[in-house]
Amino acid sequence: MAAPLGDDVLGDEPTVQALEAKVAALLGKEAALFVPSGTMANQLAIRSVCEAGDEIIAHRESHIIHYETGAPAALAGCMIAGLDGAGGLFEAKQVRDAIRPRDQHAPMSRMLILENTHNRGGGTVWPLAQWAEVAASGSDCGLHVHIDGARLMNACVAIGCAPMAYTQHADSVSMCFSKALGAPVGSALAASAAVIARARRFRKMFGGAMRQSGLLAAAAIHALDHHVERLAEDHANARRLAGTIANIEGITLEGTPERVATNMVFFAVQPQLGTAQSFCDRLRERGVAALNMGPSRVRMVLHLDVSSADVDRAGVIIAEVAKVRA
């Protein structure tokens, strides 16, 4: 609340500028841009790089496909070539095979998007060697490589690396402050100065330029300074929750508790427990928040407002709800 303020639309918002410089340095890019949401950060990258009729290569379970309301088509006029792969990951050969021929009949392959951690994949983390190979396959084919890094810091904490271990292989990266990092609002896009200058214009066009947004930027700075290392607690709590869920009749945990990579726990409810949505509704009535991710798939996310005691209480409630229904 004490952050010095200005007007980011006019370019004199000192706290936003401090955040953007901090993010650019953290991610190893020339410049960064503060935006209201991760969706806008991804879409600004797409709009700044692609032309109408271009094609983006991404995993078919990517956030840009499922949760950004068709924005690549609506805002940039782009198609998406979806790749398969367990956990939201894929291989370099798949990228090379997806490149379109330079022919007037085909869309232009323009961008490769890698999501890390991968949401629908289960909060999975890209192994660094696989990441470098896949990103290089895109760069070698002339693609702009973009990271949807909404939870990039979770990935880094999970495997014990600096963000640049990933970002050095990409041309642009988005990251979110309002998910596991715990700030109330905001994301950032980092890239070359030329891409960010173009993205700044489209941010205004999309309605994302804010005035005294230093209040929000200050919270993001605080999150980067104080909430990164503690992400390991969320990961431990996720494994703790998974260990409980794995033993509940009628529920099938995805993977094993030990293989929960970051702060997300996914499980399937068996037919006798109803649908995922009805199960989530019954949990919510008891004070436990969970998200329907399909007919039988449920996601639960751990964050800085959830303690290990909360996890234990949630585990008891999940077991009780499952037992009552069964």
DSSP string, 21-82: HHHHHHHT-SEEEEES-HHHHHHHHHHHH--TTEEEEEETT-HHHHSSTTHHHHHH--EEEE
- Answer whether 212's CB lies under 8 Å from 7's CB: yes
As a whole-number percent, the residues of the chain with pLDDT over 90 amount to 98
Structure tokens at 281: 């509704």
Which residues are CB-contacts of 139 (< 8 A; sequence separation ≥ 6)?
A: 145, 169, 171
pLDDT tens sequence across 65-99: 999 999 999 999 999 999 999 999 999 999 999 99
- Residue 252's alpha-carbon distances to 231, 257, 262, in angstroms, are 26, 12, 18
As a whole-number percent, the residues of the chain with pLDDT over 70 amount to 99
- Answer whether 195's CB lies under 8 Å from 317's CB: no
Which residues are CB-contacts of 37 (< 8 A; sequence separation ≥ 6)?
A: 176, 178, 186, 187, 208
Q: State the Cα–Cα distance between residues 100 and 97, nearest whole angstrom.
A: 8
Give the pLDDT confidence score for residue 304 in this predicted structure: 95
- Residue 289's alpha-carbon distances to 256, 292, 305, in angstroms, are 22, 10, 12
Give the pLDDT confidence score for residue 264 in this predicted structure: 98
Which residues are CB-contacts of 151 (< 8 A; sequence separation ≥ 6)?
A: 116, 117, 119, 123, 176, 179, 180, 262, 263
pLDDT tens sequence across 295-317: 999 999 999 999 999 999 999 99
Predicted confidence band of residue 324 (pLDDT cuts 50, 70, 90): confident
Residue 269 has phi, psi (to 5 degrees) of -95, 135
Give the pLDDT confidence score for residue 94 in this predicted structure: 98
Element (H, E) at 85: none
Residue 325 has pLDDT above 70, yes or no: no
CA neighbours closer than 13 Å in the CB half-sphere of residue 262: 31
Compute and round to an integer the Cα radius of gyration of the chain.
20
Q: What is the mean pLDDT of residues 103-131?
A: 97
- Answer whether 229's CB lies under 8 Å from 205's CB: no
pLDDT tens sequence across 153-209: 999 999 999 999 999 999 999 999 998 899 999 999 999 999 999 999 999 999 999
Q: What is the mean pLDDT of residues 237-249?
A: 97
DSSP 175: E
Three-class DSSP labels, 216-227: HHHHHHHHHHHC
Domains of the chain: 14-226 (3.40.640.10), 231-325 (3.90.1150.10)
Residue 326 has pLDDT above 70, yes or no: no
